[in-house]
Every structure is written in C-alpha cells, then in structure tokens.
Structure 1
Amino acid sequence: MPARLQIKAEDCSPLGRFILQYLEEQGISMNRLADLSGVPQPRLRGACFKGTCPTPETLRKLARVMGKHHLELYTLAYEARIEKLPEDADDTSLDILMRDLFETARELRLAVPKVRPSKAKIRKALLELGFSEENDECA
C-alpha cells in the first residue's frame, strides 16, 4: 500500500486530480511515478496544484508512463487558463471535443498521426461527424 498522500484533491488542478486518481488506481506512490517518468518528485508534486504551469516536457514524460497523449494532460493542466464559454453554450467546447477524440482513439487503439492531416481531410472528417457549414440551417 503506497504511503498516504498529503495532497488534497480540493487543492489540485484538474491535472493534479487526474494524477492522484492514477496513483490510487495503480496503487503506486508519487515517488514511484516520479521515478518511472523521470520527473523530479518536487516538480511532479508541484504540477498537481492549482495555478501551476507544468512544462510541456513534464507533461510528455508523464503521458508516456500514464498511457495518455501529452495533449490530454496539457488540456487538463491548462483547463483553468482556457477562456470560459458563455453560460448559454452547450457541451461542444473544444476541451470536451479534444478529450472525446483522444479517448475514442485510445479505445480503438489508434495512434496519433505522424503527419498532420490536410485541411481537406479534416474538413471531410468533420462533415462526416455531423458538422455543417455555418450558413446551413440546423435541423
């Protein structure tokens, strides 16, 4: 059983809560995650708190060990810094869409493309997902 964490979830950013959940699910300590990822333990601990700015390198190292894409962790780390949507906006925010895309790709065991898809391919995929031209009437 890993040592009891002294970090409280309410003091953590979304990334920090995700890391705490990962530690609990894996039954490992923060020191062990630091060793596995190559991130110094003080830096890993600091990345958990609200208002911190973990480096992209830290996020890439953690993502590799945690089996996530680093952009997923980046989204969690910087969620509070992303401009809030208007109250009347529905659940189509970029953040939710990105998480769903990565979650689906992971479930389907798809790797991130090595080359960025062309705008034409992205447009075609978006239209197939149900996006429509802005001037089209919504049904």
Structure 2
Amino acid sequence: MPPRLQVKNEDCSPLGLYVLQYLEEQDISMNHLAELTGVPQPRLRGACFKGTCPTPETLRKLAKIMGKHHLELYTLAYQGRIEQVPEDVDDNLLDILIRQMLETARELNLAMPKVQPSKAKIRKALMELGFREKREEIP
C-alpha cells in the first residue's frame, strides 16, 4: 500500500491553509471533501499548494460545500497575483477589501446582482465607502 500523501501547512497557498482549517473544523478528510465537492481528490489536494492555479470550476464546487462565495476562494487562490496595483496602495488592502465586501454581503444575506451595476452606481458606492478622487499634482 503506497504511503499517504499529506498536505503540510508550509506547502500551502492561502487557499490551501483555508481548506486545511475547514477540514479540521468539520473533522473530515480530504477524501471526504473531494467526494462532497465532486472534485477528484488529486485535483483538490493540488489546489492547496503554493503556485497552483485551481480552475474556476473547482473553486465554485469547493465554495458551494464550504458555504462561501467562489470569489472569496478565488481571492485566496490567487492572492498576490493581482498586477498593476498602484504603488501607494497597501499590498493587503485590495484582498481585505474584496473579502470584507463579500463577507458583509453574505452576513446580510444579500444575493449577487443579476445585472452588473452601472459605473455611476459603482462610483457612488465606492465614494460612500471612503474612496476619493485622485488629484493630479501640478508641478
């Protein structure tokens, strides 16, 4: 019988750490989680490692079982891979902001909009959240 492959914390991405925490809290195995999600166990285990790129389908299936929105898991899976963030923005601020928005929507039992809001509505909401217009500095 081959040795059991185990996922270690130090080898995990933020998503992997979250999955391991979930397994511990639910007192279930990776195999059982794979059965629940319908994701093959090797693919699920592989999604937990640093540097991997889980498919959106895997993230959606995993999120459904874990009671999360798939975008929350997406931000964990791809943490640190968002490019072209302005230099003066704290590295963690964008991830924290996205997670906070999704967590608040879930706590308030809000469903995702069926139609994408207009840019004007998004701008108004962002301004109410404390975003501000950038002022170009005059030399």
TM-score (norm 2): 0.85
Output the amino acid matched with 1:112.
M
Q: How many pairs does the alignment contain?
A: 133
In the superposition, relative to structure 1, how do residues 119 and 51 fare at CA in structure 2: closer, same or farther (>3 Å)?
A: same
Q: In 2, distance between residues paired with 1:92 and 1:49?
A: 20
Q: Which residue of 1 aligns with 2:113?
A: 113
Structure 2 segments unaligned to the other structure (5+ residues)? none
* Residue of structure 1 in register with 2:34 after alignment: 34
User: In structure 2, what is the equivalent of residue 75 of structure 1?
Assistant: 75
**Which letter does structure 1 place at the counterpart of 2:131?**
F
* Other-structure match for 2:65: 65
**Residue in 1 aligned with 2:102?**
102
CA drift at 1:93? 2.8
The letter for the 1-side match of 2:73 is L
Report the CA distance shift for 1:107/1:7 in structure 2 as closer, same or farther (over 3 A). Answer: same
In structure 1, what is the Cα distance between the partners aligned to 2:82 and 2:114?
27
Q: Deviations over 1:3-43 (max 9, x none)?
A: x9821111100110010011111111111111111100110
2:11 alignment partner in structure 1: 11
Farther off after superposition, 42-51 or 82-91: 82-91
Distance in 1 separating the partners of 2:54 and 2:90? 29
Q: Deviations over 1:89-133 (max 9, x none)?
A: 436732221111011111111111121111111111111112222
Between the aligned partners of 1:107 and 1:34, the Cα distance in structure 2 is 27
Letter in 2 for 1:124: K
Whole-angstrom distance in 2 between the partners of 1:22 and 1:61: 15
The one-letter code of the counterpart of 2:125 is: A
Q: Give 2:30's aligned amino acid.
A: M
Kindly indicate whether the alpha-carbon contact (under 8 Å) linking 1:85 and 1:93 is maintained by their aligned counterparts in 2: no
Partner of 2:93 in structure 1? Answer: 93
CA apart distance, 1:85? 6.2
1:44 pairs with 2:29: no
For structure 1, which runs of at least 5 residues remain unmatched after alignment? none
Alignment partners' CA distance in 2, 1:115 and 1:85: 26
